[in-house]
């Protein structure tokens, strides 16, 4: 009997440890993370000089002031593992080492992120973390890493829940709080199991620098803004503070026309997406800066209620999106998908809308009245009595905030 009791107690201790160690660092990413990542623009061409210059530009362009915080080096920073198995940076491109780079970024009041992969190899055939999870997390913590993006290449026969939970536990064990970004492209529905494992999860394959297209490589596809939006919008009920659907990094500033860049950025903000810029911050034109640093629309993304917005209806190619905000306020975006400008008449008094997943209501048929702010012009344009007519250019947006004084 005693032996059975002992075994039972041992099992209990084992299970509770397993449970405790699978918990991510709480209190991080309570609003969608904001930052910059090297992949979209630089791919394999990363080095310490460029990353330092990006950190400088993050400040000089006003990006930091607008809320961007993390500088994340994606794939290709790696060198060999040393004789004890510790991962090292590529010595030619990062001669001062990762710790010195992290220190530089921290001195600027920014945070530092890095990339690895659950398989033996990253997607760029660099050393992955499989079998080295605890050793790598220890090293990242030692270097001062604040954010880990963790990819899903070369993972044949690997169970995603197990692989991501192992790395999450390794980070916890290493003891330095890090935002944990799962990048398994939505293939095993992380929104259903990763709430305690990570802080954001990719919902789709890679973004492609195009507004409306699919880049088909045979065994994998990359997707334009519209295709990604379509996939990501269905998952809103899984998002919330500390748990974000990630429709991938921004392509703003990589050549998209201004109207499309504005629509892309607005849709990401309406979907409470992580805002990770993916362009060359050292060479931005005024228009790109004006999109990426528009504080009014960023405040919609960063609203502390943390609700992902929803598409309510589509009329004459114009989609109407809503996002409940804190204090009973609302963001509304009219998005014209078509190639022609469309006139929209907003009849405020006919609006009685219920959030299908979270139960918030916007009922303007009675006495309640909001003030209306045009978010891109950052200007009050009236209130919710009567009607408002507007012409929305092709593939552009009209973004509003309904607020109370
Ligand atoms: C995958 C990821 C991308 C990027 C590359 C790097 O494709 O989804 O975001 O990290 O790997 O090789």
74 CB less than 6 Å from ligand 1?
yes
The sign of the CA dihedral 57, 63, 68, 69 is: positive
Q: What is the pLDDT of residues 165-192, one digit of tens each?
A: 999 999 999 999 999 999 999 999 999 9
Residue 91: strand, helix, or coil = coil
**Same-domain pairing of 221 and 327:** no
As a whole number, mean pLDDT of residues 25-48 equals: 98
Q: Which atom of ligand 1 is nearest to the CA of 202?
A: 8
151 CB less than 6 Å from ligand 1?
yes
pLDDT bucket at 7, cuts 50 / 70 / 90? very low
**Same-domain pairing of 177 and 50:** yes
Atom 1 of ligand 1: nearest residue by CA position: 123
pLDDT bucket at 71, cuts 50 / 70 / 90? very high
260 CB less than 6 Å from ligand 1?
no
Which residue spans within 27-136 are E strands per DSSP?
34-37, 70-72, 78-81, 87-89, 111-117
Q: What separation in Å is there between the alpha carbon of 203 and the centre of ligand 1?
A: 13
280, 301, 322 — which closes off a domain?
Answer: 301
pLDDT at 14 over 50: no
**Same-domain pairing of 282 and 191:** yes
Q: What is the pLDDT of residues 120-141, one digit of tens each?
A: 999 999 999 999 999 999 999 9
pLDDT at 299 over 90: yes
pLDDT at 10 over 70: no
**Same-domain pairing of 318 and 283:** no
183 CB less than 6 Å from ligand 1?
yes
Residue whose pair of structure tokens reads 């219920």 in the numeric block: 354
**Same-domain pairing of 168 and 31:** yes
| Average pLDDT in the chain | 95
Q: Please report, rounded to a whole number, the percentage of residues in the chain having pLDDT higher than 90.
A: 93
DSSP string for 343-405: EEEEEGGG-EEE-TTT--EEE-SSS---EEEETTTTEEEEESSSEEEEEE-TT-EEEEEEE--
pLDDT at 259 over 80: yes
As to burial, measured by CB atoms within 10 angstroms (0-12 exposed, 13-18 middle, 19+ buried), residue 197 is buried
Comparing 11 with 135, which gets the higher pLDDT? Answer: 135
301, 322, 343 — which closes off a domain?
Answer: 301
Helix axes 133-143, 160-174, angle to 10 degrees: 40
Q: List the Cα angle 310/212/270 in 5-degree steps.
A: 25
pLDDT bucket at 368, cuts 50 / 70 / 90? confident
Contact 167, 139 (CB under 8 A): no
Alpha-carbon distance of 97 to 87, in angstroms, equals 11
> Which region among 41-55, 136-150, 295-309, 362-376 has the lowest average model confidence (pLDDT)?
362-376
Atom 3 of ligand 1: nearest residue by CA position: 206
pLDDT bucket at 405, cuts 50 / 70 / 90? confident
**Same-domain pairing of 119 and 204:** yes
184 CB less than 6 Å from ligand 1?
no
What is the distance, to the nearest Å, from the Cα of residue 379 to the centroid of all Cα atoms in its chain?
A: 27
Q: Which atom of ligand 1 is nearest to the CA of 183?
A: 8
**Same-domain pairing of 283 and 386:** no
Residue 116 has a CB neighbour count (10 Å cut-off) of 27
pLDDT bucket at 261, cuts 50 / 70 / 90? very high
pLDDT computed for residue 367 by the predictor:
76
Contact 74, 115 (CB under 8 A): yes
Q: What is the CATH number of the domain that holds 323?
A: 2.60.40.1180
244-246 and 318-324 as β-strands: parallel, antiparallel, unpaired?
unpaired
pLDDT at 109 over 90: yes
pLDDT at 8 over 60: no
Expressed as residue numbers, the domain containing 158 is 2-301
The residues annotated as belonging to the active site are 151, 206
pLDDT computed for residue 22 by the predictor:
56
**Same-domain pairing of 290 and 316:** no
Q: What is the CATH number of the domain that holds 153?
A: 3.20.20.70
Indicate whether this model's pTM tops 0.85. yes
The one-character DSSP state at 24 is P
**Same-domain pairing of 213 and 94:** yes
What is the distance, to the nearest Å, from the Cα of residue 356 to the centroid of all Cα atoms in its chain?
A: 23
301, 329, 354 — which closes off a domain?
Answer: 301
Comparing 15 with 317, which gets the higher pLDDT? Answer: 317
**Same-domain pairing of 334 and 283:** no
> Which region among 12-26, 74-88, 135-149, 326-340 has the lowest average model confidence (pLDDT)?
12-26
Phi-psi region of 58 (alpha: psi -120 to 50; beta: other; left: phi over 0): alpha
As a whole number, mean pLDDT of residues 196-221 equals: 96
**Same-domain pairing of 295 and 386:** no
**Same-domain pairing of 297 and 317:** no
pLDDT at 41 over 90: yes
What is the domain count for the chain?
2
Task: Identify the helix (H) or strand (E) that includes residue 141.
Answer: helix 133-143
């Amino acid at each position: 009997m005693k032996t059975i009791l002992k075994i039972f107690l041992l099992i209990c201790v084992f299970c509770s440890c397993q449970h405790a160690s699978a918990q991510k660092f709480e209190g991080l990413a309570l609003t969608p993370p904001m930052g910059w990542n090297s992949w979209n623009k630089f791919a394999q061409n990363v080095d310490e000089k460029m990353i330092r210059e990006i950190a400088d530009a993050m400040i000089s362009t006003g990006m930091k002031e607008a809320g961007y915080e993390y500088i994340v080096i994606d794939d290709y920073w790696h060198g060999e593992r040393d004789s004890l198995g510790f991962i090292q940076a590529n010595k030619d491109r990062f001669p001062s080492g990762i710790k010195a780079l992290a220190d530089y970024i921290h001195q600027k009041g920014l945070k530092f992120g890095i990339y690895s992969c659950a398989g033996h190899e990253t997607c760029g055939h660099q050393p992955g973390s499989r079998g080295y999870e605890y050793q790598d997390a220890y090293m990242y913590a030692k270097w001062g890493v604040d954010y880990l993006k963790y990819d899903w290449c070369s993972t044949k026969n690997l169970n995603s829940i197990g692989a991501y939970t192992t790395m999450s536990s390794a980070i916890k064990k290493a003891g330095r709080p890090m935002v944990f970004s799962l990048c398994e492209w939505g293939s095993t529905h992380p929104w259903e199991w990763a709430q305690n494992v990570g802080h954001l999860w990719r919902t789709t394959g890679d973004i492609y620098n195009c507004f409306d297209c699919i880049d088909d490589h045979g065994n994998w596809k990359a997707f334009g803004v519209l295709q990604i939006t379509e996939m990501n919008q269905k998952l809103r009920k899984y998002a919330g503070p500390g748990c974000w659907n990630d429709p991938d990094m921004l392509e703003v500033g990589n050549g998209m026309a201004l109207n499309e860049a504005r629509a892309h950025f607005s849709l990401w903000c309406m979907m409470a997406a992580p805002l990770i810029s993916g362009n060359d911050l050292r060479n931005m034109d005024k228009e790109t800066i004006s999109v990426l640093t528009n504080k009014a629309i960023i405040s919609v993304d960063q609203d502390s209620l943390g609700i992902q917005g929803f598409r309510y209806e589509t009329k004459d190619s114009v989609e109407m999106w809503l996002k409940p905000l804190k204090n009973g306020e609302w963001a509304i975006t009219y998005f014209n998908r078509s190639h022609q400008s469309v006139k929209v008449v907003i009849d405020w008094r006919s609006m009685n809308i219920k959030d299908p997943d979270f139960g918030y209501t916007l009922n303007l048929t009675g006495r309640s009245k909001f003030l209306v702010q045009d978010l891109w012009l950052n200007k009050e344009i009236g209130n919710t009595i009567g009607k408002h007519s507007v012409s929305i250019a092709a593939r552009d947006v009209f973004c509003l905030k309904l607020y109370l004084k």
